[in-house]
Structure formats: C-alpha cells, structure tokens
Structure 1
C-alpha cells in the first residue's frame, strides 16, 4: 500500500500470497478521499521498454553492473577531456569557435565548448548512474539485513496468520509517534518482501524536496499495534535514494526535466562529435594535438 504525496491517490498491491512474484501481483488505484476504486494501473509499453533498457538493458543485475562500468568510464573520459582541454584553451578566449578555418577544427571547438559547458551535469549523471548500478544489491542488503535485525526477537516465531492482523490505523498511529514530522510513503504487510512475518513495515519519507526520497522504516507488531523498532537508512542507502531522482531529474518537476532533456541532447552531440573526430583523424593528427597542448601549457607557464 503506497501513498501519493501530490494527490489523494492510493495504490494497493494484491496477490495470491504476500511473497508472490512481481508478475503475479496486481496494482490497483484508489481515491483516498472517497475510497472509490480507480481500476488497475495504466500501462505504457513504450515507456516501460525504454526505462528497462536504460536501467539494465534487460539482463537484470549483470546489465546494471555493465552500465555502471560504462558510467565510471564516462567519468574517466570527462576528467581526461578536461585535462586535455585546459592547457590548449589557455591560448584562446573561452567559448571560441574558429569558423574561418576547416570543418574539422570548427567541430573540435564545438565539441570542446559544449563539453565544458555541460561538464558538471555530465559528471553528476555519470556518478549517480554508477551509484544506481548497485541499487539492487544495496537495497536487498539493507532490506534483508537491517529489517531482519530489527525483528530478531521474532525470528523463531511462526508467521502471523492474516486473521490475526490488527488495525492498520493503530499501527500507523504508533509509527507516527515514533517518527514525527514525516509522511507515510508505503506500508509493507506481514510476510511481504519489505516486512517480516509479524509486522506492518511503515516507511516514512521527509517533507522537503531533498529529503522526500529518504525512507525511514518503522516496524509495528501487526497483532498488538505496538512499535517494535524504527531506524534511519544507512548512509550508503541514503546516497542511493537521493541519487536516483537527481539522475532522472525528479527534483524540480517539468522545468528541471526540460533542462535535463536539453543537456542530454548536448551530451549526445558531444559524444557524436567526439566519435567523428576520432574516426576521421588524419595521420599525425594525434601528434599535432599533443604539440598544441604542450604549447598551450608552455605559454601558460611563461606568462
């Protein structure tokens, strides 16, 4: 059961068993103000395909780790690009595009200019992408480790049958007293992947844009409605939760997404021009480029 912070929307996931596989679950929408069912979640095959392609290219964890490695290589490429760009551009004003000379030189200047303008953004995207590549192992380690430690006292106790579940309202009240000033994000029911066999796992989120993606779980005994434990996320998981919306531009609504889209197009141009410059290089071009960099560094040292 999940709560929307921007609307009265409530999502409820149902299935044949609490630990059923994802494909056997059904996601339903309800209106919290009226209790009316809004039907199953709408699907968008194209967007789901693109998201899966961007997340793991369909192989799952191996695909995520591969993309993480590519993100790390992108960081290396960006840093090396700055190292090469800085001494060379000391001879020219910032943003110079030499239009009066050959096409290759103009393309090189455009590549350098757009690359340095979008550098900070590309570094953020690459670094957050590398962090996100480890999302599944980090999340599973936190879920299976931290939550298990929070319920050690129930480890050898049989799972609570659904007929013995207590009031969710009472459980929510106990959790809110332990974690004041935060909003409930979702509730994991006993036996599910995000809870134990005896607890409602109520996850709270911060009330500010920066903290609304950080989750704090409170485990409440489903039979008695009494709080068992509540703990903040480890630092590494906090970094993961904050990096995802930053990577996808989810902090500032549509305006930020439009900026992200424009910077993405600029990055595609930088990558494309870099590939074209490399493929169409002439004999001795690399040596001349190195000499230009050396002369730029020498000019800087003598000034």
Structure 2
C-alpha cells in the first residue's frame, strides 16, 4: 500500500512538473530582469532625465499638469496620474483614445511636476522590458493568457507539494544535503535536484501562490467593481452623463483630508475601470512598507469635488495588492531583490534538471523495453 501511494505521488509530481515546466522556465527567465527593472531601465537609458532646477522650485497644480498632458497627446483623454517615491519630481501620465481603453493599448509618459514638460517613457510602451513584462503576465494573449499562466502556477504548486511528499522517504536513506559524487551522472543530478528543491521550497511556494493571485487580477478587479465600487456609485446609476468636470487642482488636498495620514498613489479619472463616469478616484496609501501597498480609494464627485465615499477594500483586493510586490521581492530593497534573483536562478536549475531526469529515465525505460523485445524475438 505504501509503495502504491508513493507511485501515485510520483505520477502527480512527474506530470504536473512536465506540463508546467516549459511555461515555468519562461516565467523564471522573464521574471529575472523584471526584479531589477528600475536598474535595467536606467542602464538602457529609458529613465527620463529632468532639468536641474533649484530644490525649492514649486510644483504645478494638478490641473496645470492635466492641461500639459492633454497638450502633449491632443485628441486623447486622461486615464491615470501616478507617483513614484523614487522620482519625486515626476508624475506618470497614462492617456488613450477613450477612458475605457484597456491598459495595453494606452500610452504612458512622464511629466516634470515643476514645469509640465512631457518626457517619453520608452520602456512603458515597448522595448525589451515591456516584452519581458507581457510574456511574464499574459504571453500577449490578454486575459486568457493570464488565466492560462495561473493554471500553470497551480500545477507548479501541486508539483512542489508532491515533491515534498516524495522527498520525505528519500531523506531517510541519506543525510541532508548529500550529493553522491561517486554515483552516475543521473544520480548526482537527482541529489542536486532534490537538494535545491528543498532549499528553495518556501520561496517557490510564495512565488507560485502570489503568481496565481496576480494571474487572476482581472477577475479580482471585476469582482471589486461589481461589489464594493458598485455599491458606492449606486446613487449615480441613473444620473445624466457628465458634460464637464471640475478642475483637478484640489484633488490631493481633498483626498488627504478624507483619510488623514495617507498619501496619494494614483488618480483614476472619470470613466476608467478604477472609477466611475461621475467620479475621480484618488487611491491613497499608507506610510509604512506594508501599508504603502494597501490602497484605499476616495471617490470624489467630478462635478463639484465633494467626497461621496471611501470605498471598502475587501480581503481579496488586499491579497492581490500584497501579492504583487511580494512576487517580485519589492518589500526589502536591493538585498531582497538580490535574494529573489538567486532563488530564481536556482529554480531554473531545478526545472531544467527535472526535465533532464525525466528524459534520462524515459530513455532508459525505452532501452530496457527494446532489449526485452529483442530477447523475446531471439527465443
């Protein structure tokens, strides 16, 4: 009975690993540069260079920046404004032909908050890093590609769990971290495969589970829109279309007064999927490393700028917001990124060695069958 159980777990481990390995290798390889995307953008010259100005140079108002963005992309509408702590004088602007345009068809650029000068951000609209990001998130297949990669993530988690089950009886025969150097190449690779797999176990589970959450991002956001956001904008359901909107000048002051102690992360303009046809949505974040990834939306009526709601953040949105930075090691600065990269490389070795071990075993089994068949024929 015990041997049958082990064989079943071995079958689960073999096939879940084989089915997802090619895609996991692609994710591991593309994920490696994404861990250091800020540094790589700088090396490739994709980081906008701002003019040198006195430190006390004041910033333009939000409405002045909106007008500067619209002048830079005439005929398009504003979708989002965002801020990055690493570049304090920059405001990221995202525009498209319509407010509902999906993200991959929008155009991203940077505004100098002091002058309104528009600077192109090549890596956000194409180039090497965008190719890596699209391959890593949806393989250029949109929502279906994201869900497919999420399914591969689930298989990866199943492969990890089944590998742990198989490793337990294996370790009873050997000391931990033993690599039998005097044995065949296949045995040595098996020992290395098991050893590296155990060392990277916790990290692989974390990355696998958070990857599944990230792959379901569109579903999670849709659920949030249909649940929390829909309840907050229900009074506007039968309201006439918004013909004009109030200037965005005071949006940040209004939002900061509504949720003291928090600061703006990004603004969703009316008509986008993170707001409504009648609202600005200012997404506020906390000051600590943890709370800076948990966003609280403040809905502001776009006609007269009064706060209509502070939208509830359900648990599934918290899970998504926490999983995104954890997936790429964005919580602990450069040391954590380096650790993530090392573990990523080790995972590539585990995946590659797993394919090698399966191929060697399959070839050996085929040779035994051929020899047996020839022996029977000779008789």
Range class of TM-score, shorter chain: 0.7 to 0.9
Who is 1:47 aligned against?
A: 129
Does 2:272 align with 1:192? yes
- In the TM superposition, residue 7 of structure 1 has moved relative to its aligned partner by 2.1
Structure 2 counterparts to residues 256-271 of structure 1, below 5 A? 256-271=336-351
Who is 2:83 aligned against?
A: 3
Counterpart of 1:179 (choices 254, 259, 262) is 259
Counterpart of 1:89 (choices 167, 171, 188) is 171
Partner Cα separation in structure 1 for residue 328 and residue 284 of structure 2: 22
Partner Cα separation in structure 2 for residue 23 and residue 89 of structure 1: 48
Q: Are the equivalent residues in 2 in contact too, given 1:72–1:130 (CA < 8 A)? A: yes
- In structure 2, runs of 5+ residues without a counterpart are 1-80, 367-379
- Aligned-partner SS, 1:49: helix
TM-score relative to the length of structure 1 = 0.86
Q: Are the equivalent residues in 2 in contact too, given 1:19–1:193 (CA < 8 A)? A: yes
- In the TM superposition, residue 204 of structure 1 has moved relative to its aligned partner by 0.7
Cα 1:137–1:28, aligned 2, differ >3 Å: closer, same or farther? same
Partner Cα separation in structure 1 for residue 85 and residue 355 of structure 2: 44
Counterpart of 2:107 (choices 14, 26, 37) is 26
- In the TM superposition, residue 75 of structure 1 has moved relative to its aligned partner by 0.9
Q: For 1:102-147, what per-residue CA distance to the aligned partner results, in whole angstroms no more than 9, with x for missing partners?
A: 2221111111111100111111111111111211111122134422
Counterpart of 1:228 (choices 283, 301, 308) is 308
Q: For 1:256-289, what per-residue CA distance to the aligned partner results, in whole angstroms no more than 9, with x for missing partners?
A: 22221211111111111111112112349xxxxx
Partner Cα separation in structure 1 for residue 107 and residue 161 of structure 2: 46
Who is 1:106 aligned against?
A: 188
- Aligned-partner SS, 2:291: coil
Q: Are the equivalent residues in 1 in contact too, given 2:299–2:311 (CA < 8 A)? A: no
Q: 190-199 or 125-134, which moves further after superposition?
A: 190-199
Who is 1:288 aligned against?
A: none
Q: Are the equivalent residues in 2 in contact too, given 1:28–1:37 (CA < 8 A)? A: no
Does 2:151 align with 1:69? yes
- In the TM superposition, residue 232 of structure 1 has moved relative to its aligned partner by 3.2
Counterpart of 1:12 (choices 93, 96, 99) is 93
- Aligned-partner SS, 1:228: strand
- Aligned Cα RMSD in Å? 2.0
Q: Are the equivalent residues in 2 in contact too, given 1:160–1:190 (CA < 8 A)? A: no
